[in-house]
């Protein structure tokens, strides 16, 4: 059996190694046909094709070189348009000159930029859009007026021209990614399925071979050697793994153009399910689901003496595979909007974004149903189900983030920090994110209904972008998963998830759920606190005979599983006496003091 | 002229021993008073959970995790910790002499020095690689003694012995377990449970040798190489764990005037024969009887309860130590054990019992009652968690065995979705009743 385990490990390492190598394993060749297939606007396409002549039909060996060439191309196209439509200093001076008594006016714009000429006509319009609000204002001096106008022209250069005529950074990011993917040549491109098998396939097989021999051990808590393990105790392998995960997420969210080889491998899978070629998020969802499935098998074997753990693990495996992965893809195949029926705002922070609302509203009955369903989850399912079962119904039975944490992340649960200091940080941080999510969404909806992008004191587009980058990608992704081997498997859920904060408030104040402690049986050993992924100092309560009612508790039930004295139990009962009294049974003469 | 008012000096409570007993006393005194509190202890700087020693060795936890309170807790609660060893108590001067040479004076003294492991003078017991397991230094020693070894022998079949077996197995060290009794721990457990546990221990590939006693330990160059049993069998080994019980750790009190027998003698108020000197926990021997309880009880819970009680006495509300019904728990490899009330290893004349065992051989319950009046007396439960609160109440209310059997489901404390066995247990109980009454 040891041999099987070792063999599994070798397969896993081999698969993982090839996966990493394949990251670099393509050459790239850009052709006009590829460019045309990825671009829509014809003007700049022509320009782009022209500018890229130097590298067309020539084999570029590395993705880094290819991407940097693309960067140069986009910059040169943008530069061209900036030169073409950028306002010159001479034109600014003319604008100043046309402003009698330093009062700026629309007339000054018309005098400076003639509408008869194509280019100046564009400039005329641009300047009116961005500088029109200055009309009628009087400035104390010509210098001051000029400064103002220069700032308008700066804004034009920065935002307007590039996004109207050239490629703004969103377009650049998307196009870099799709051009790289389309231009790839080499073994991965020509044998995606083969590569899928020898990378991810081999890793999955290896993992399972590594996991199954655990069945030979007697069932029961087997946490032997965790704190001597180089993976599970923040030692070299753990740090290396964390670094790899962080890098993976940074690439996925911010530099997807480099990971196109990996996406190519899952193209056939995506085509099978949804009929479309794979996006990077399809790849991500595919790997994510496999992680939950494979490590879910491990979780079930590890805790096979506990039916609670087994059922809970089946549940997260099911919700991830069906609800998060398959159903949305199948919806696409059926020409319906992509929709994850178990994702809830504000974890699903873009639920109320205009593009998504528009998509749902444009899809008739199905879209309306999805919208109503999503809102009902927020305002009915969350409070009602938390009242009856505790926040665990979502966090450790349904949620995708929770699902990954409870399976892939389970080996790292002991790394959460249990100090009071961290509890304090946790409380303000998670609630701050909730406030941020609510304000951001409020702003987005305000803009949706009023068309005004300025809400209170911020630009709602800017705000949602900041939220998406820092919370959605940075916190939930990079930190959330990348920090598994460093700070435990629930870093995001504990410090960042706004939905967890909302569920937690309900759980703390209005719920039948609690963890009961069994009289005076606690021996203060500390297993419960050590294995609490949420960093709750369970022992603090248990050793004084008090029930545990904490907003952060996700009800994973592991404290109860690891307790060697049978002290802890997750229970739902009447609200009366929910907190329990901090008094230990067994002693006749001890009263509560505080 | 202004008279200088001298403030009454704050009462100084000194506690020897930072185990569960001493620390519970300190915490509860702090809750109820602003006395100056000093805890003197030599083993570790901070209170840690002795019961978790095995988990440190097995890598489930680090030493840090076994500290029930964070290090800042003591300062914040004005409990002074002094790491030193008390060499002598001078009850006339009310002062202590420490190993460092310092003296500390007290107004009230609490002795909570715990236990030390028994050694019965076996030949070779001082060889390198032979040790007991009680404190943190023993853990460090065991770490050293078991590095790279293949085979170990454990002598003495108590709870610490079985923990040691599990510890060694976690490091892939083969274990031979010498137990004097007929079945494992059958001096405490009825034979059915003792045999269930013996089987379970064997299923973990422990070479359990029952009715086997140690004769001598043999060594080479100062290090253990083998042991010999009374029956003459020689077993090669590189480590010997001596786990034949513990006894109160009280030598330093010799000649102090504080009366001791097996332990420090105390009355109902946990007072010793010397005024202002109290004693608690493992190191104590009660001078008075409590029904169904031994006079020296070396478990976590008694130390904790005594700590709660003595704090009230010291803070002015004189309180008797009157523990409620007995309870205890342990874990034998993968099988959890809880007990409530009294279940002896053999039935007394007036007692009757009922035993049920699950087909897996890993779960059982054993209930005992007084057949003269049907009063329920106690339960052993293996592999099924039960509510302390229920049994504590039923025992105090002197419920009948029928009541307990019919309310068994209420007492179940197993996690959700676990298999429930009450119906089966109750059916078997009725069967037994019928067959008995015939
Ligand atoms: C491995 C192991 C597992 C156990 N498991 C369980 C269990 O599961 N359940 C259970 O109920 N019980 C268990 N016990 C027993 C339980 O741990 C003890 O009953 C309990 O710890 C006793 O607490 P105490 O405070 O009386 O003494 P101790 O915990 O022994 O504390 C006394 C302290 O005083 C110090 N000390 C002694 N003399 C001096 C001196 N002269 N000067 C300064 N300091 C001194 C000692 O070094 C020690 O640190 C276990 C014991 C061991 C060793
Ligand atoms: S694991 Fe159980 S016995 Fe240990 S501290 Fe937690 S509740 Fe107490």
3-state secondary structure A96-112: HHCCHHHECCHHHHHHH
Residue in A585, A591, A592 to test binding to B, most B beta-carbons within 10 Å: A585
Q: What angle do CA A543, A410, B387 make, to 5 degrees?
A: 30
User: For residue B436, is pLDDT > 80?
Assistant: no
Which pLDDT tens digit goes with each residue over B409-426?
999 999 999 999 999 999
Q: How many CA atoms lie within 13 A of B24 on its CB side?
A: 27
Distance B63 CA to ligand 2 centre (A): 15
Q: Which ligand is nearest to the CA of A532?
A: 2
Instruction: For each of the domains in chain B, give its residue range(s) and CATH number, in order of start.
Output: 12-116+247-314 (3.50.50.60), 130-244 (3.50.50.60), 327-437 (3.30.390.30)
Task: For residues A556-567, give the mean pLDDT.
Answer: 98
3-state secondary structure A239-271: HHHHHHHHHHHHHHHHCHHHHHHHHHHHHHHHH
CA-to-CA distance for B222 and B124, rounded, in angstroms?
9
Nearest to A299 by CA among A289, A287, A311, A313: A313
| Predicted pLDDT at B8 | 64
- Three-class secondary structure of residue B260 per DSSP: strand
Confidence of residue A130 (pLDDT cuts 50, 70, 90): confident
> Ligand 1 in contact with B325 (CB < 6 A)?
no
**What b/e readout covers B228-251, taking b as 16+ CB neighbours within 10 angstroms?**
bbeeeeebebbbbbbbbbbebbbe
Which pLDDT tens digit goes with each residue over B290-311?
988 999 999 999 999 999 999 9
pTM above 0.90, yes or no: yes
CA-to-CA distance for A99 and A369, rounded, in angstroms?
56
User: For residue A591, is pLDDT > 80?
Assistant: no
Task: For residues A132-158, give the mean pLDDT.
Answer: 90
| Predicted pLDDT at B1 | 45
Q: Which ligand is nearest to the CA of B85?
A: 1
User: For residue A97, is pLDDT > 70?
Assistant: yes
Confidence of residue A457 (pLDDT cuts 50, 70, 90): confident
Distance B49 CA to ligand 1 centre (A): 8
Considering only CB atoms, B305 lies closest to which of A529, A564, A586, namely A586
Q: List CB contacts of A83: < 8 A, sequence separation 6 or more.
A: none
Task: State how far the alpha carbon of B117 is from the alpha carbons of A444, B158, B161, B241, in Å.
Answer: 70, 12, 12, 11
| Predicted pLDDT at B418 | 98
DSSP A6-62: HHHHHHHHHHHHHHHHHTT--EE-B-HHHHHHH---HHHHHHHHHHGGGGBT--B--
Nearest to A258 by CA among A188, A201, A173, A187: A173
Give the single-character DSSP code of A512: S
Confidence of residue A582 (pLDDT cuts 50, 70, 90): confident
User: For residue A329, is pLDDT > 90?
Assistant: yes
Confidence of residue A594 (pLDDT cuts 50, 70, 90): very low
Q: Which atom of ligand 1 is nearest to the CA of B328?
A: 11
| Predicted pLDDT at A226 | 98
CA-to-CA distance for B100 and B113, rounded, in angstroms?
18
Total Cβ atoms within 10 A of residue A244: 14
Whether A481 has its CB under 8 Å from any CB of chain B: the answer is no
| Predicted pLDDT at A301 | 98
What angle do helix axes A202-211 and A2-22 make, rounded to 10 degrees? 160
Q: Does 3.30.70 match the CATH number of domain A509-589?
A: yes
| Predicted pLDDT at A246 | 97
Query: CA gyration radius for chain B?
Result: 24
Whether A530 has its CB under 8 Å from any CB of chain B: the answer is yes
User: For residue A417, is pLDDT > 70?
Assistant: yes
Distance A535 CA to ligand 1 centre (A): 28
Bridge partner residues of B177 (DSSP)? B154, B208
Whether A517 has its CB under 8 Å from any CB of chain B: the answer is no
Which pLDDT tens digit goes with each residue over A188-223?
999 999 999 999 999 999 999 999 999 999 999 999
Residue A262 phi, psi (nearest 5): -70, -35
CB B410 within 8 A of CB B392: no
CB B385 within 8 A of CB A567: no
Task: For residues A386-406, give the mean pLDDT.
Answer: 98
Total Cβ atoms within 10 A of residue B293: 14
Rounded to a whole number of angstroms, the distance from the CA of B309 to the nearest CA of chain A is 7
B266-269 long-range contacts, Cβ below 8 Å, gap at least 24? B268/B320, B268/B321, B268/B322, B269/B310, B269/B313, B269/B318, B269/B319, B269/B320, B269/B321
Which pLDDT tens digit goes with each residue over B96-127?
999 999 999 999 999 999 999 999 999 999 99
Lowest mean pLDDT among A46-60, A187-201, A365-379: A46-60
| Predicted pLDDT at A133 | 86
Q: Residue A346, preceding bond cis, omega within 30 degrees?
A: yes
Q: What are the extents of the domains in chain A? A: 65-185, 222-508, 509-589
Task: State how far the alpha carbon of A113 is from the alpha carbons of A90, A127, A159, A345, B100, in Å.
Answer: 12, 9, 20, 48, 93
| Predicted pLDDT at A245 | 97
Q: List CB contacts of B280: < 8 A, sequence separation 6 or more.
A: B21, B22, B25, B110, B111, B112, B270, B303, B306, B307, B310
Token pair, residue B94, equals 């009310």
CB A402 within 8 A of CB A493: yes
User: For residue B241, is pLDDT > 60?
Assistant: yes
- Three-class secondary structure of residue A286 per DSSP: helix
Which pLDDT tens digit goes with each residue over A491-536?
999 999 999 999 999 999 999 999 999 999 999 999 999 999 999 9
C-beta atoms of A565 and B329 within 8 A: yes
Whole-number percent of chain B with pLDDT over 70: 97
CB B170 within 8 A of CB B59: yes
Q: What angle do CA B136, B142, B146 make, to 5 degrees?
A: 160
User: For residue B230, is pLDDT > 90?
Assistant: yes
| Predicted pLDDT at B117 | 97
B262-271 long-range contacts, Cβ below 8 Å, gap at least 24? B262/B295, B262/B296, B263/B296, B264/B111, B268/B320, B268/B321, B268/B322, B269/B310, B269/B313, B269/B318, B269/B319, B269/B320, B269/B321, B270/B306, B270/B309, B270/B310, B270/B313, B270/B321, B271/B313
CA-to-CA distance for A441 and A436, rounded, in angstroms?
8
| Predicted pLDDT at A160 | 87
Distance of CA A210 to the CA centre of its chain: 30
Which pLDDT tens digit goes with each residue over B329-342?
999 999 999 999 99
CB B289 within 8 A of CB B296: no
CB contacts < 8 Å between A and B, how many? 159
CA-to-CA distance for A254 and B316, rounded, in angstroms?
68
Please name the residue ranges forming H helices in A415-521.
420-450, 460-466, 480-482, 484-487, 491-495, 498-509
Nearest to A252 by CA among A279, A226, A270: A279
C-beta atoms of B327 and A520 within 8 A: yes
Residue A194 phi, psi (nearest 5): -60, -45
CA-to-CA distance for B14 and B276, rounded, in angstroms?
11
Greatest Cα pair distance in chain A: 99
| Predicted pLDDT at A60 | 95
């Amino acid at each position: 059996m040891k041999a099987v385990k070792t063999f599994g490990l070798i397969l896993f390492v081999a698969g993982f190694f090839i996966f990493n190598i394949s990251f670099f394993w393509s050459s790239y060749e850009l052709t006009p046909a590829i460019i045309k297939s990825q671009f829509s606007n014809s003007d700049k396409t022509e320009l782009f094709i022209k500018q890229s002549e130097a590298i067309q039909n020539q084999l570029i060996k590395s993705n880094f070189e290819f991407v940097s060439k693309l960067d140069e191309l986009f910059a040169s196209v943008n530069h061209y348009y900036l030169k073409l439509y950028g306002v010159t200093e001479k034109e600014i001076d003319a604008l100043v000159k046309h402003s009698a008594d330093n009062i700026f006016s629309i007339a000054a714009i018309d005098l400076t930029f003639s509408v008869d000429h194509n280019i100046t006509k564009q400039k005329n319009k641009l300047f009116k859009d961005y500088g029109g609000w200055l009309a009628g204002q009087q400035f104390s001096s010509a210098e001051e007026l000029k400064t103002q106008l220069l700032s308008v022209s700066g804004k034009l250069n920065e935002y307007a021209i590039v996004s109207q005529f050239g490629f703004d950074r969103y377009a650049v990011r998307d196009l870099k990614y799709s051009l790289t993917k389309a231009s790839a040549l080499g073994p991965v491109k020509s044998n995606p399925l083969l590569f899928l098998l020898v990378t991810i396939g081999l890793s999955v097989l290896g993992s399972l071979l590594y996991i199954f021999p655990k069945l030979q051990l007697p069932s029961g808590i087997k946490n032997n050697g965790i704190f001597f393990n180089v993976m599970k105790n923040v030692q070299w392998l753990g740090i290396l793994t964390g670094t790899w995960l962080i890098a993976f997420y940074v690439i996925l969210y911010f530099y997807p153009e480099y990971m196109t080889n990996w996406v190519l491998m899952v193209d056939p899978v995506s085509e099978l399910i949804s009929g479309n070629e794979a996006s990077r998020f399809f790849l991500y969802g595919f790997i994510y689901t496999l992680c939950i499935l494979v490590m879910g098998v491990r979780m079930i074997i590890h805790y096979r003496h506990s039916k609670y753990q087994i059922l809970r693990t089946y549940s997260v495996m099911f919700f991830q595979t069906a609800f998060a992965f398959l159903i949305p893809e199948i919806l696409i195949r059926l020409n319906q909007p992509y929709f994850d029926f178990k994702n809830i705002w504000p974890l699903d922070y873009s639920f109320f974004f205009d593009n998504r609302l528009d998509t749902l509203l444009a899809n008739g009955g199905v879209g309306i149903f999805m919208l109503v369903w999503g809102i009902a989850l927020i305002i009915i399912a969350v409070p009602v189900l938390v009242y009856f079962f505790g926040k665990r119904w979502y966090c450790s039975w349904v949620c995708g983030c929770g699902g990954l944490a409870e399976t892939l992340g389970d080996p790292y649960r002991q790394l959460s920090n249990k100090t009071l200091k961290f509890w304090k940080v946790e409380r303000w941080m998670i609630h701050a994110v909730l406030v941020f999510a609510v304000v951001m969404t409020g702003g987005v909806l305000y803009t949706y209904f009023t068309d005004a992008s300025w809400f209170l004191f911020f630009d709602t587009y800017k705000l949602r972008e900041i939220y998406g980058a820092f919370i959605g990608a940075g916190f939930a992704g990079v930190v959330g998963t990348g920090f598994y081997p460093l700070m435990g498997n629930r870093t995001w859920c504990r410090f960042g998830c706004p939905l967890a904060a909302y569920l937690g408030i309900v759980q703390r104040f209005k719920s039948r759920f609690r963890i009961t402690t069994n009289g005076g049986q606690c021996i203060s050993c500390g297993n419960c606190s050590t294995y609490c992924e949420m960093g709750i100092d369970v022992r603090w309560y248990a050793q004084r005979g008090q029930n545990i009612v904490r907003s952060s508790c996700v009800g994973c039930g592991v404290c109860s599983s690891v307790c060697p004295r049978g002290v802890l139990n997750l229970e739902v009962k009447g609200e009366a006496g929910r907190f329990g009294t901090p008094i230990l049974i067994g002693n006749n003469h001890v009263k509560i003091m505080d | 002229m202004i008279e200088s008012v001298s403030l009454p000096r704050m009462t100084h409570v000194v506690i020897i021993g930072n185990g569960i007993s001493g620390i519970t006393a300190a915490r509860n005194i702090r809750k109820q008073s602003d006395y100056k509190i000093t805890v003197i202890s030599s083993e570790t700087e901070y209170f840690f959970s002795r019961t978790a020693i095995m988990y440190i060795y097995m890598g489930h936890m680090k030493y840090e995790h076994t500290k029930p309170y964070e290090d800042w807790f003591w300062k914040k609660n004005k409990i002074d910790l002094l790491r030193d060893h008390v060499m002598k108590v001078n009850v006339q001067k009310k002062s202590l002499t420490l190993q460092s040479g310092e003296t500390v004076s007290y107004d009230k003294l609490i002795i909570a020095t715990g236990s030390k492991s028994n050694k019965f003078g076996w030949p070779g017991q001082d060889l390198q690689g032979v040790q007991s397991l009680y404190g943190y230094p023993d853990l460090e020693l065991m770490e050293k003694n078991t590095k790279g070894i293949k085979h170990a022998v454990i002598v003495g079949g108590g709870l610490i012995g079985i923990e040691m077996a599990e510890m060694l197995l976690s490091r892939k060290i083969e274990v031979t377990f010498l137990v004097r009794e007929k079945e494992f721990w059958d001096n405490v457990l009825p034979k059915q449970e003792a045999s269930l546990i013996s089987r379970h221990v064997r299923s973990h590939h422990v070479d359990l040798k029952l009715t086997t006693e140690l004769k001598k330990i043999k060594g080479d160059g100062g290090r253990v190489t083998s042991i010999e049993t009374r029956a003459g069998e020689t077993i090669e080994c590189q480590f010997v764990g001596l786990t034949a019980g513990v006894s109160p750790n009280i030598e330093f009190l010799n000649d102090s005037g504080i009366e001791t027998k097996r332990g420090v003698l105390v009355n109902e108020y946990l007072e010793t024969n010397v005024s202002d000197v109290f004693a608690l926990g493992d190191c104590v021997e009660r001078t008075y009887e409590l029904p169904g309880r031994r006079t020296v009880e070396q478990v976590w819970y008694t130390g904790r309860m005594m700590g709660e009680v003595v704090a009230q006495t010291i803070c002015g509300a004189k309180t008797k130590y009157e523990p409620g019904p007995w309870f205890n728990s342990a874990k034998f490899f993968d099988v959890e054990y809880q007990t409530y009330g009294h279940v002896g290893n053999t039935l007394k004349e007036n007692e009757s019992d009922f035993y049920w065992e699950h087909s897996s051989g890993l779960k059982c319950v054993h209930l005992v009652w007084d057949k003269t009046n049907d009063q329920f007396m106690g339960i052993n439960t293996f592999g099924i968690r039960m509510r302390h609160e229920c049994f504590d109440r039923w025992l105090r209310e002197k419920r009948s065995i029928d009541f307990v059997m019919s309310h068994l489901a209420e007492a179940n404390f197993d996690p959700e979705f676990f298999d429930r066995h009450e119906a089966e247990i109750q059916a078997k109980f009725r069967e037994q009743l019928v067959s008995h009454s015939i």
